[in-house]
Amino acid sequence: MTNTLRWALPVALIALTGLNTAPAAAAEAKYFKGKTVTISIGYGFGGSYGMYARTFAANLGRHIPGNPTVVVKSMPGAGGMKMTNYAYTVMPRNGHDLFVPPDVLVINQLMRPKKMRFDAREFTWLGSSNQTNSIMVVRSDTGVRSIEDMKRIKILGGTSGKASNGYISPKLAIGMLGLMGDVITGYKGSAKSILAIEQNEVQMASFNWQTWRSKVPHWFEGKNPYARAILQVGSKTDPDLPNVPMLSDMVTGDDKAVIAFVATSGALGRGMATPPKVPKHVIATLRKAYDAMNADPAFAADLKKRRLRLIPTKGEALQKIVNQAISNAKPSVIRRAAALVYGGGT
């Protein structure tokens, strides 16, 4: 074989590949061009779900072929589960409708199966842009300076619904550590819960650090701060809070397995998914677009401007986390978690 022929074959293959991919790219651009992509969230716009979703909407469209318009739709209720049930049963399966999954949807599916009309394994995960721990924050004027103080001082917390991380994480801590307190529900998202703390309706809430640092960073300033972070629930310490104790380090035996089960929520963080049965070629396009958005300096700058962090995870990795969490969950661990959070009923 001559040198000319040796070089000609790879060039010809590259040319053929280009001919094959060009029509596919054109077809995807046509599929999205002139369309509106809707991102649904299960909470109000004031919390971290709303802030991330609106940042996604401002940046994702330029990475999708055809550059569709991207908007955000709020569907609050049941700690984000109303929207999740909608995404599973009703949301169109065409790739033009996406959603920001609640980070606790796997936990809720396993602990409250009769109320959850979805299987998280059938959603397709596009990617995530942040990982989250649940950070318990208490007003300083309560006299609580550390989690040990809650063994003698009764504290009332507030959150949206019993399916939210803002309910599950503090109820676990109260049950496992023998703390004095409870959590009431009914506040429409983290913003309303934070307002309730300022109005002294409640004295505590447990949200991801992104919510606290973006909405009320002044609470934690100075020698006598308005509020203190006293506990975090997750799989590893939040990089911003190296000195705030982890619940997993304060328990032993079977309760460590319960914390590991609940900590799956931190890995899911704030990202996007599609409802079941979206065509594979559309999924490939959307995952590629999401990864490109996460790598875009303009997206990182937009997040920073909104006081949001970027800790990216690919969709395939999230899919694996979800599938393994459900497949490997032990019934005894699930029962223990449900008993601590919900007592006799779910």
Quote the percentage of the chain above a pLDDT of 70: 92
Q: How confident is the model at residue 10 (pLDDT cuts 50, 70, 90)?
A: very low
Rg over alpha carbons for the chain, rounded to the nearest Å, is 22
Of the candidate ranges 6-15, 73-82, 183-192, the one whose mean pLDDT is the lowest: 6-15
Q: Could you give the 3-state DSSP secondary structure of residue 150?
A: helix
- The more confidently predicted of residues 346 and 335 is 335
Fold: same for 10-131+267-335 and 134-264: yes
Residue 19 has pLDDT above 70, yes or no: no
Name the packing angle between helices 165-177 and 254-262 (round to 10°): 170
How confident is the model over 117-165, as pLDDT tens digits?
A: 999 999 999 999 998 899 999 999 999 999 999 999 999 999 988 988 9
Beta-bridge partner residues of 36: 69
Backbone phi and psi for residue 243, each to the nearest 5 degrees, phi listed first: -100, 0
Which pLDDT belongs to residue 25?
Answer: 76
Residue 21 has pLDDT above 80, yes or no: no
CA–CA separation, 73 and 236 (whole Å): 32
Residue 51 has pLDDT above 90, yes or no: yes
Q: How confident is the model at residue 15 (pLDDT cuts 50, 70, 90)?
A: very low
| Residue extents of the structural domains in the chain | 10-131+267-335, 134-264
Which pLDDT belongs to residue 166?
Answer: 93
Beta-bridge partner residues of 233: 134
| Domain 10-131+267-335, CATH class in plain words | alpha beta
Which pLDDT belongs to residue 173?
Answer: 95
Which pLDDT belongs to residue 146?
Answer: 96
How confident is the model over 293-307, as pLDDT tens digits?
A: 999 999 999 999 998
Whole-structure pTM value: 0.81
CA–CA separation, 315 and 128 (whole Å): 7
How confident is the model over 88-102, as pLDDT tens digits?
A: 999 999 999 999 999
Residue 241 has pLDDT above 50, yes or no: yes
How confident is the model over 162-213, as pLDDT tens digits?
A: 988 999 999 999 999 999 999 999 998 888 999 999 999 999 999 989 889 8
CATH of domain 134-264: 3.40.190.10
DSSP letter, residue 69: E
CA–CA separation, 327 and 325 (whole Å): 6
Which pLDDT belongs to residue 254?
Answer: 83
Q: Stretch 259-282: mean pLDDT, rounded? A: 91
CA–CA separation, 264 and 192 (whole Å): 26
